[in-house]
Amino acid sequence: MLNHENSHTIFNNARNLIPGGVNSPARAFGAVGGEPIVFDRGEGAYLYDVDGNKYVDYVQSWGPMILGHAHPRVIAAIQAAAVKGTSFGAPTLLENTLAQMVIDTVPSIEKIRFVNSGTEATMSAIRLARGFTGRKKIIKFIGNYHGHVDSLLVAAGSSAATLGVPNSPGVTEGTIQDTILLPYNNVEALKNAFHSAGKEIAAAIVEPVAGNMGCVVGSSNFLYELRHLTQENGAVLIFDEVMSGWRVGKSGAGARFSLVPDITTLGKVIGGGLPVGAYGGRADIMDNILPKGKVFQAGTLSGNPLAMAAGVATLRVLNESDPFAAIERKAAMLAEGLEDAARDAKIPAAIEQIGSMMTLFFLTEQDNKIDQHRMSGTTFNGGIVERSTATSSTGGCFSSKITDWESASRCDTNRYANFFWNMLDRGFYFPCSQFETFFMSAVITEKEINQTIDAAAEVFKLLSL
């Protein structure tokens, strides 16, 4: 067992100062039991805790750190911005630079506004959609997470699901009465909802690749119908790509699936590890935001120069090095290795992977018997791509076993907790919940991947005893 003495002391003190000892519940280890690790520093593919233990990091701050920790160019950009002053509450050139980079990368975004978190981005996008359409109702999918926005904090995946509080105390019935909840990847339910309330719907918000019930890919049928029905009914389609942006490919899930949402919300990678969110899309919709339009949205620190500098540096490195195909190849290598190792140890499991996002789902015996037919095709509209072609830019590797929150929530969370602690003990930091996504990065090499697969093979054998 690794020594976690310093982590233990620091976390114990934190508990007296901060509710639950953490500033975000996702990091509390509640779903796996035990106490969080307290980190001292990160470098490249590795994290170092306060007891001197070293881990290969597959959490990557829950998504942002696609270039690894403390990337020299990102750090240099933050330092250069900092010496010029940390905040002015006034325009800077860096905001234009990052805006232009995002607009050049994500085809559906014509204009963009920066905020400070993904939560702010989705909250503002919903308000904008309601202001733009003059309608009240929004569609949200079960198991999708869009931050802790009141009207979206129902059936909200990971943290909320993990803690068993799909409806948080403090979120009033009045707040969520205009939220229509639908199952993910279910075309029938979608059609019914639009049939009965189509002209009252201001917006549908969706994670086109869900990352907050574990990684679950939106099916082409489902996303296509969603685009079609929103358009037909004059509702705004919001793709929440706070996690999937730059993760399922450089231009996000919308571009990869050849679908054009009206608004896209972003965060995580675009901040390069600093607090940034953004929402952008059709200019005629975006122009409804104050001061150009009447929909109120503001932020003292929005477009903060340090955050913009980190984002610009991150996207610049990504543009220059174009690591996406290589990252995806490594992600498929890890996914395949974990799946084979689980099979060898007779542990029922399904891996969902697309781009640099993936989840290892531990299945119950019963779910494992469901026929696992992988569909194949070379484009997304052809559906789902076979593992052997997972290195192609349109590929991905997913089974038909986990398609929505219903199927995800049946997974064996005890077995996941066991896997998590045993991997941690061997120096591999995975997310502390079955219902979270883990990530490949530009700096994890085949060496670390092989070490991870070997360690996992050992752990699966222990789990099967």
Ligand X SMILES: *Cc1c(COP(=O)(O)O)cnc(C)c1O
Residues that bind ligand X (CB under 6 A): 117-119, 122, 145-147, 207, 211-212, 240, 242-243, 267, 277
Closest distance between ligand X and the C-beta of residue 245, in Å? 9
Nearer to ligand X, 242 or 315 (CB): 242
Q: What is the DSSP string of 156-172?
A: --HHHHHTT-SS-TT--
Nearer to ligand X, 153 or 455 (CB): 153
Beta strands at 216-217 and 236-240: parallel, antiparallel or unpaired: unpaired
Tokens linked to 366 = 């019963």
Nearer to ligand X, 214 or 337 (CB): 214
Nearer to ligand X, 95 or 207 (CB): 207
Question: Could you tell me how far CA 428 lies from the centroid of its own chain?
Answer: 20
Nearer to ligand X, 31 or 242 (CB): 242
Closest distance between ligand X and the C-beta of residue 65, in Å? 13
Nearer to ligand X, 66 or 243 (CB): 243
Closest distance between ligand X and the C-beta of residue 147, in Å? 3
**From 145, 184, 416, 429, active-site residue:** 145
Beta strands at 54-57 and 39-43: parallel, antiparallel or unpaired: unpaired
**From 240, 262, 367, 404, active-site residue:** 240
DSSP state, 323? -
Contact in structure between 384 and 377 (CB atoms under 8 Å): yes
Q: Is 145 a catalytic residue?
A: yes
290, burial (CB in 10 Å: exposed 0-12, middle 13-18, buried 19+): exposed
**From 137, 140, 250, 268, active-site residue:** 268
Nearest of 232, 181, 228, 221 to residue 205 by alpha carbon: 181
171 φ/ψ sector (left φ>0, alpha ψ -120 to 50, else beta): beta
Q: Is 240 a catalytic residue?
A: yes
Closest distance between ligand X and the C-beta of residue 240, in Å? 4
CB atoms within 10 A of CB 400: 15
Tokens linked to 412 = 């064996």
Alpha carbon distances (Å) from 421 to 36, 226, 411, 426, 427: 11, 39, 17, 9, 10
Nearer to ligand X, 119 or 353 (CB): 119
Closest distance between ligand X and the C-beta of residue 44, in Å? 23
Closest distance between ligand X and the C-beta of residue 331, in Å? 17
CA 135, 137, 141, 143 torsion: positive or negative? positive
Closest distance between ligand X and the C-beta of residue 184, in Å? 13
108, burial (CB in 10 Å: exposed 0-12, middle 13-18, buried 19+): buried
Nearer to ligand X, 71 or 247 (CB): 247
Closest distance between ligand X and the C-beta of residue 55, in Å? 21
Question: Which residues lie below 8 Å from residue 228, measured CB to CB, with a gap of 6+?
Answer: none
- With CB atoms as reference, the residue minimizing the distance to ligand X is 118
Q: Which amino acid is at 240?
A: D
DSSP state, 81? H
Q: What is the DSSP string of 196-250?
A: HHGGGEEEEEE-SEE-SSS-EEPPHHHHHHHHHHHHHHTPEEEEE-TTTTTTSST
Which residues have a catalytic role annotated? 145, 240, 268
